[in-house]
């Protein structure tokens, strides 16, 4: 069945040793379109110079200039990939990929840059590698690049990038709610014709249990190795394990000498970590994912005051949005240590200061549902109102859910306004390990 959608050109760029990763990216884009194009009204079109350019010779031009004209300048999103090669120079840059990145940034478009941490071949070109590392260093203070260890982690990064690009363009292009919405209320459009848009998606971690096992195994192994080092010397046995916050050996905790006491310590830690893992994943989500955004539009000639919009996300959980840069101050809530260090890392967390007025967006978890209440100051005729920032991140409790049902009701006693509607939000499966790696790299 035909449907109307907005198409975005997603251009993959990179030196010649990244061809297989472009195919990985193609699979991710195809999967994204299959799951979300119809419901979200947006389709991603993957483009690459090898499949989307034609031979062309013109006076005063060059190969890279032709590529720029045919695919780079039309790109809405550029995904740049590097392994061990930097690429061949052009008349304007040290490599074609560098020129494509710089040209896209100068045009104000979205650029994602990824570097491989895979094992390098024995015959790696060191000249290319030196140029690549110099370029990597040169862009480190201009934005955020990310690294991947294999094709799987690369696909996770691309999937996350497409999700964020979708949210970005959905807001910029003023796309409709990604579902059909029904309303009831005054039929006269001259009175109130309220349109409600919810931007974002619900997510769940597909590998949360695997990340828990990895943390338990690695930390247990690390602590036993540390125990062997600390108590290899008989003279060290004189240290009393009365202060669990004592710190030696480059801030490592002092561990009990007795194997039995060590077993008990690790058993208690493992039990507490497992019991608090659901809360730990919620903290990870709050730092990793963007929050929901809300928009209202009154397509009528009236002003609406004292409006209250109640939105319910059925079967979903809300967690507070937190700035990723602050994760370093609270990573112990996701990866709890066996023994707390003497000094916890403190820093100025981003805190929203209250102005004394009721915030426009308030939320709470109510049983199995998330309830959001919005009090916009005033809805002007044919003027878009948007929520001021990320307030709440949406998680699903059931990892089998494919969408979240959303119901809303708008009321205004002075209107009178009494409208309601229904829509759905997609559910995305994301990697907890990739999210954690990204935050730890900041």
- Quick one: pLDDT at residue 13? 97
- Quick one: pLDDT at residue 317? 95
Rounded Cα distance, 336 and 250, in Å? 18
Please give the C-alpha separations between residue 382 and each of 72, 150, 193, 302, 408, in angstroms, as whole numbers. 36, 49, 9, 9, 20
Collapsed DSSP state (helix, strand, coil) of residue 184: coil
pTM recorded for the entire structure: 0.55
Pairing of strands 293-298, 194-199: antiparallel
Rg (CA), the chain: 26
- Quick one: pLDDT at residue 50? 94
- Quick one: pLDDT at residue 233? 57
Rounded Cα distance, 175 and 173, in Å? 5
Provide φ and ψ at 248, rounded to 5°. -135, -175
Count the neighbouring beta carbons within 10 Å of the beta carbon of residue 211: 22
CB-based burial of residue 69 (10 Å sphere; 0-12 exposed, 13-18 middle, 19+ buried)? Answer: middle
CB-based burial of residue 197 (10 Å sphere; 0-12 exposed, 13-18 middle, 19+ buried)? Answer: buried
Rounded Cα distance, 424 and 24, in Å? 29
pLDDT in tens, 342-378: 445 555 455 444 444 556 889 999 999 999 999 988 8
pLDDT in tens, 289-331: 888 888 888 877 778 888 899 999 999 999 999 888 888 888 8
Torsion, CA 389, CA 390, CA 391, CA 394, rounded to 10: 150
pLDDT in tens, 172-217: 654 444 333 333 344 344 567 788 888 888 999 999 999 999 999 9
pLDDT in tens, 40-58: 778 999 999 999 999 999 8
Contact predicate 118/20, CB 8 Å: no
Domains of the chain by start residue, with CATH: 6-170 (3.40.50), 178-207+282-440 (2.60.40.10), 212-274 (no CATH)
Closest CA to 155 of 48, 32, 47, 35: 32
Provide φ and ψ at 60, rounded to 5°. 80, 5
How much of the chain exceeds pLDDT 90, in percent? 45
| pLDDT above 70: residue 338 | yes
């Amino acid at each position: 069945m035909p449907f109307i959608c907005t198409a975005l050109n997603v251009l993959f760029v990179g030196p010649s040793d990244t061809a297989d990763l472009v195919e990985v990216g193609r699979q991710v884009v195809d999967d994204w379109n299959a799951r979300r194009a119809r419901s979200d009204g947006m389709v991603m079109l993957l483009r690459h110079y090898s499949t989307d350019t034609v031979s062309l010779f013109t006076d005063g031009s060059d190969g890279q200039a032709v590529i720029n004209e045919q695919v780079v300048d039309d790109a809405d999103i550029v995904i740049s990939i590097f392994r061990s090669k930097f690429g061949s120079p052009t008349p304007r840059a040290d490599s074609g990929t560098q020129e494509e990145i710089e040209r896209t940034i100068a045009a104000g478009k979205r650029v994602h840059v990824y570097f491989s941490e895979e094992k390098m071949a024995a015959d790696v070109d060191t000249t290319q590698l030196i140029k690549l590392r110099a370029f990597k260093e040169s862009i480190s203070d201009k934005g955020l690049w990310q690294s991947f260890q294999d094709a799987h982690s690369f696909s996770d990064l691309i999937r996350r990038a497409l999700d964020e690009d979708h949210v970005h363009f959905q807001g910029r292009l003023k796309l409709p709610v990604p579902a059909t919405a029904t309303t009831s209320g005054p039929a006269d459009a001259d009175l109130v014709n309220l349109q409600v848009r919810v931007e974002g998606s619900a997510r769940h971690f597909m590998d949360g249990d695997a990340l828990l096992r990895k943390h338990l195994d690695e930390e247990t192994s690390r602590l036993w190795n540390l125990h062997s080092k600390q108590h290899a010397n008989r003279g060290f046995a004189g240290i009393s394990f009365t202060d669990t916050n004592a710190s030696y050996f480059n801030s490592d905790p002092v561990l009990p000498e007795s194997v039995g006491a060590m077993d008990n310590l690790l058993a208690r830690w493992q039990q507490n970590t497992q019991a608090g893992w659901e809360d730990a994943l919620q903290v990870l989500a709050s730092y990793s994912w963007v929050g929901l955004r809300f928009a209202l539009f009154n397509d009528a000639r009236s002003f609406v005051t004292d409006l209250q919009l109640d939105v319910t996300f059925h079967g979903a959980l809300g967690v507070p949005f937190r700035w990723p840069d602050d994760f370093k101050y609270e990573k112990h809530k996701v990866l709890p240590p066996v023994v707390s260090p003497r000094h916890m890392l403190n820093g100025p967390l981003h805190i929203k200061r209250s102005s004394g007025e009721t915030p426009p967006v308030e939320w709470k978890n109510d049983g199995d549902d998330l309830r959001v209440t919005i009090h916009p100051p005033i809805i002007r005729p044919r003027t878009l109102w948007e929520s001021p920032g990320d307030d709440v991140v949406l998680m699903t409790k059931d990892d089998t859910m494919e969408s979240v049902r959303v119901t809303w009701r708008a009321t205004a006693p002075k209107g009178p306004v009494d409208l309601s509607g229904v829509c759905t939000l997609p559910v995305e499966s994301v990697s907890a390990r990739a999210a954690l790696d990204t935050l730890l790299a900041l």
